[in-house]
Structure 1
Amino acid sequence: DRDAMVERLLREPGIETVFDKQDMHEKSPLHYAAESGCVDLTEQLVKRGADVSLVDEDERRAAHVAAKRGHLGCLRLLIAASGAIDRSIGQRDLDESTTLLLAAEEGRFEVFRYLCDSGADFNAKDEIGRNALMLAVSKSHYDIAKFLLDLDIDVSATDVSK
């Protein structure tokens, strides 16, 4: 089965040399594991020393990818592996989006709530001034919008793209 094949592959001599290799989009195996929601593989890569701080062409870490796709299990592992939660959840991508902003935009409520509970800045704004509330409402993610309204979010923020 797939898990046995992955285990066998990860035991191959010298396999560690490819953990941080990046493809033409600058994605590493860890990015792909997080993107696919493969918790076991993400865990194995992290345990074997894969670099959680590598960024792809959009300046996204594997944690960004996990948040965007709604893969909470992978995200928890990646945040724990980074050694400092603010380095994982506060890191910005090419569009100045944080993991929290990506989760809000994609409607990943469980991930969003976890990030808020972990200390993410829910008043953060992307490069054009959109905060989590704007992103959630613009995509009809009302569960996230309601959650934010119950917090002390800045409702007067301005989207400078308009």
Structure 2
Amino acid sequence: MELYRGSNTNQMDYNDDGRGPKSGKMLASNDDRLDSGLDSLKEEECTYVESAFERMRVAEDEPWKKELTEDGDTYLHLAVIHEAKDAALKIISLSYGDPFLNIQNNQRQTALHLAVITEQPLIVEQLLKAGCDASLVDERGNTALHIACRKGSLACFSLLTQGCRQQLPAILQAPNYNGQKCIHVVAIQGYLSLLESLIQLGADIDAQEQCNGRTALHLAVDLQNFELVKLLISKGADVHSFTYGGHTPYHLTYGRANTDIQKVLYELTAPHLRELPESESDDSDEDYEEQYDDDDEAIYDDIKMMGQV
């Protein structure tokens, strides 16, 4: 299934969430990232990681579950980070229902966060089946679903929404520390198919993000994404919703280039709500700081395991 992403003409910097995993040194990059598999490790590190995983045995106290790197990563974190699929699956199989699955590293990332960041659907699926908690948030308040929404990962999105049905209503209502719920993240990224899916799953189409009180429709206007505006209107988005500064979506068309958006909203907005409010509050995108670093797929080195490098 191909992800339909509406055009974001003159897209603003509404990027919503967090840093990528960190273990030892942080290396480049996201869009043109280097291979993050075991081959990306130094040769001696690669050899040690492989041998360490091979030495794992089921023991009464399972001491390997207690080992952490200086960045708080477990063996499971490392296996996911380095896309060592067989090792990750073995660890998961030995940890069904174990709190070990939900250990958070120093960036408060669980293995599930990392599996979504590195786009490993099989690992996501097995983690959920084994009892990984999809409601846990990282240091920026993002659940694994927030991350899947930002990345536009259809496979991870589907697995997460199907694999945590009982938790899903609460996850859809949970804002990250930038005040954005999953529906805002998807709107910002312009992923039309994911937005439709979120609405079908029960996400509030008129939910306000907590920074300026914008709804997904306000964000679509700011991003000048006509396809997104039309979709939201067709799904029943409230054209009379106000930001905290008292602005309707139509108000945000003032000074913007897309006259199609302005025309559509003008016709739908009540006449007494078309004039700009006297409030001096500015809801423009300039109020936003860049809200995440685009390094969530950085690779790791200098990994220390079992006291050895």
TM-score bracket, shorter-length normalisation: 0.7 to 0.9
Q: Distance in 2 between matches of 1:5 and 1:27?
A: 18
Structure with more relative contact order (C-alpha pairs < 8 Å, separation 6 or more): 2
| 1:75 equivalent in structure 2 | 157
From 17, 33, 51, the counterpart of 2:115 = 33
Gaps of 5+ in 1: none
Percent identity, aligned pairs only, is: 27
Cα deviations by residue, 1:4-61 (Å, 9 ceiling, x for unpaired) = 9412332147566653222222111111212233211211211222111111112221
| 1:141 equivalent in structure 2 | 225
| Secondary structure of 2:128's aligned partner | helix
Report the more deviating stretch, 137-146 or 22-31. 137-146
CA contact (8 A) 1:129 1:157 kept: no
Q: Distance in 2 between matches of 1:55 and 1:35?
A: 13
CA contact (8 A) 2:102 2:132 kept: yes
From 200, 217, 229, the counterpart of 1:117 = 200
Shift of 1:158: 2.8
Report the more deviating stretch, 89-98 or 121-130. 89-98
Cα deviations by residue, 1:62-93 (Å, 9 ceiling, x for unpaired) = 11111121112212221222233312322222
| 1:7 equivalent in structure 2 | 86
CA contact (8 A) 2:128 2:164 kept: no
What letter is aligned with 1:143? E
Is 2:89 the partner of 1:89? no
Q: Distance in 1 between matches of 2:226 and 2:140?
A: 27
Q: TM-score, normalised by structure 2?
A: 0.47
Q: Distance in 2 between matches of 1:76 and 1:11?
A: 24
| 1:63 equivalent in structure 2 | 145
CA contact (8 A) 2:205 2:216 kept: yes
- Structure that is richer in helix per residue: 1
CA contact (8 A) 2:190 2:225 kept: yes
Q: TM-score, normalised by structure 1?
A: 0.85
Cα deviations by residue, 1:109-159 (Å, 9 ceiling, x for unpaired) = 121111112221101001121000111222233322110122321222233
| 2:183 equivalent in structure 1 | 100
Structure 1 residues 7 and 47: alpha-carbon distance in aligned structure 2, compared to 1, 3 A threshold: farther
Q: How many residues align?
A: 162
Is 2:102 the partner of 1:20? yes
Q: Distance in 1 between matches of 2:175 and 2:126?
A: 25
